[in-house]
Amino acid sequence: MKLRLKFFLISFSIIIYAYGQDTDRKIQFPDLPEYLTLKADLHIHTVFSDGSVWPNIRVEEAVMDGLDAISLTEHLEYQPHKDDIPHPDRNRSFIIASEIAKPHDLLIIHGAEITRSMPPGHANALFIQDANQLIIEDPIQAYEEANRQGAFVFWNHPDWIRQREDGVAKMTDMHQILIDRKLLHGIEVVNDMTYSEEALKISIDEQIVPLGTSDIHGLVDYQYRIAQGGHRPITLIFAKERTVEGIKEALFDGRCIAWFDNLLVGREEWLKKLINSSLTFEFDDYIGPTSVLKVKVTNSSDAAYLLKNNSVFSFQMNSDVIEVQPHSTKTLHVRVLEQKREIELDFEILNAIISRNVHPNMKFKVSQN
């Protein structure tokens, strides 16, 4: 039977909720002097693989989180909804999201997840041209095809307990081949709720790029308890321009770090640059005739900085472990012993990590201007 539906008017009565207006949840990190700091979630699922939402929700969540870019990386080989969604084109979620994102200031990166048992496990290919071409039985051929399309390819959740029973990321011969042949360019040191220090070690030893992603299947708000102040794990990317090309260039150059819980993970160079942009130390004044100096520390980032004092000085209002809350200014009262016009403070940054149990050490000059 055929339905004639004349004058059919469907659209939501009144859209009340203007999404993107809740500024509290927007993730905020400062730019570097020479690069923009872009916030990206590069591992996401929708109903077009095993996720639970239509692509528009991924756009909506990303706008609310203040992200610059997302990639909907549907499993190529794992399609549990295929009875209901048999569409043969594996670019569908990218196409739909791109259309929906148009009125928003959000970049959609074309991606897909090459989904195999271990080795090589799962990997994401970003900046691809056509996901359908990646459906190749031989895994190495799939990586080759991704690279032919110009993709940045990274190893997903190498610590995943369904593929690694001890939760420990380990290299295999196949990974060595992929890396040596420059077919694999990055590795997740953070995936969803997990952080892998062994993956971080692999990224250092093999000189591949460390990344953090959500791998979200359900709702970001539920999984990361946004209402309680949580945030999804993302990759902070230091780009020359706010475009898909800019992100691609930055990733291939390794200019990024992972942001997870209250942890910043990655290469020392980029962590220190971000910390230098996030924290500013200002010489305020000595308290009256004393030699106790007020130093104002301003944190312009979402990270709660946890500083361990390695300076020669002690502080009058703090022990050697100091927390500087996100987007706040804290005044340190430094016992300088005698009034000077410049001092140097020396901290270990406990909420940043560059390798197993190793945190960056940073010196900050504080001068009277």
Contacts of a second copy in 292-311 (CB under 8 A): 292, 306, 308-309
Beta-sheet strand order (sheet of 328-335): 279-286, 292-299, 328-335, 314-315
Cα–Cα distance for residue pair 343/330, rounded to 1 Å: 17
Q: Which of residues 90-109 bind a second copy (CB under 8 A)?
A: 92
Quote the least distance from Cβ 34 to a second copy, whole Å: 28
Contacting residue, 23, 289, 341, 342, with a second copy by CB under 8 A:
289
The reply to whether 13 sits near a second copy by the rule CB under 8 A is yes
- The answer to whether residue 192 forms part of the interface with a second copy (CB under 8 A) is yes
54 lines the binding site for a second copy (CB under 8 A): yes
R_g over Cα of the chain: 23
Side chain identity at residue 331, one-letter code: T
Q: Does 137 bind a second copy (CB under 8 A)?
A: yes
Binding part of the chain for a second copy, among 26-34, 35-43, 216-224, 237-245 by CB under 8 A, reads 216-224
Window contacting a second copy (CB under 8 A); options: 206-214, 238-246, 269-277, 351-359: 351-359
Considering only 53, 101, 179, 184, the residue that binds a second copy (CB under 8 A) is 53
Distance of CA 96 to the CA centre of its chain: 23
Give the nearer residue to a second copy in terms of CB position, either 35 or 195. Answer: 195
Question: How many amino acids of this chain bind a second copy (CB under 8 A)?
Answer: 105
Q: Is the peptide bond before 119 cis (omega within 30 degrees of 0)?
A: yes
Q: With binding defined as CB under 8 A, does residue 28 bind a second copy?
A: no
Q: What is the 8-class DSSP label of residue 50?
A: T
Burial class (CB in 10 A: 0-12, 13-18, 19+), 240: middle
**Binding to a second copy, residues 230-259 (CB under 8 A):** none
Amino acid identity at 314: S
- Residue 115 interacting with a second copy (CB under 8 A): yes
Of the candidates 34, 86, 102, 173, which one interacts with a second copy according to CB under 8 A?
86
Only one residue has tokens 């309680």, namely: 228
What is the closest distance, in whole angstroms, from the C-beta atom of residue 241 to a second copy in the complex? 31
Residue type, 187: I
Nearer to a second copy, 98 or 239 (CB): 98
Cβ-based burial of 187 (10 A; exposed 0-12, middle 13-18, buried ≥19) = buried
Output 130 or 249, the one with its CB closest to a second copy.
130
Element (H, E) at 55: helix 55-64
Among the listed ranges 28-36, 104-112, 221-229, 241-249, the one in contact with a second copy (CB under 8 A) is 221-229
Q: Which of residues 166-185 bind a second copy (CB under 8 A)?
A: 166-168
Long-range CB contact pairs, 357-363, < 8 A, 24+: 357/197, 359/308, 360/268, 360/271, 360/272, 360/275, 361/310, 362/272, 362/275, 362/276
Please answer whether residues 264 and 351 qualify as being in contact, where contact means their C-beta atoms are separated by less than 8 angstroms. Answer: yes
Pick one of 41, 60, 65, 145: the residue that binds a second copy (CB under 8 A).
Answer: 60
Binding mask 309-338 for a second copy (x = CB under 8 A): x----xxxxxxxx-x---------x-xxxx
Question: By three-state DSSP, how is residue 277 classified?
Answer: helix
Q: Is 16 in the site for a second copy (CB under 8 A)?
A: yes
Both structure tokens of 216: 């979200």
Determine if 263 is a binding residue for a second copy (CB under 8 A).
Answer: yes
DSSP 136-193: -SSHHHHHHHHHHTT-EEEE--TT-TTT-TT------HHHHHHHHTT---EEEEEETT
SS3 213: strand
**Using CB under 8 A, which of 27, 30, 36, 81 touches a second copy?**
81
Establish if 1 lies at the interface with a second copy (CB under 8 A): yes
- Of 26, 28, 36, 57, which lies in the binding site for a second copy, with binding defined by CB under 8 A? 57
* 161 is a contact residue toward a second copy (CB under 8 A): yes
Nearer to a second copy, 47 or 250 (CB): 47
d(CA 37, CA 194): 23
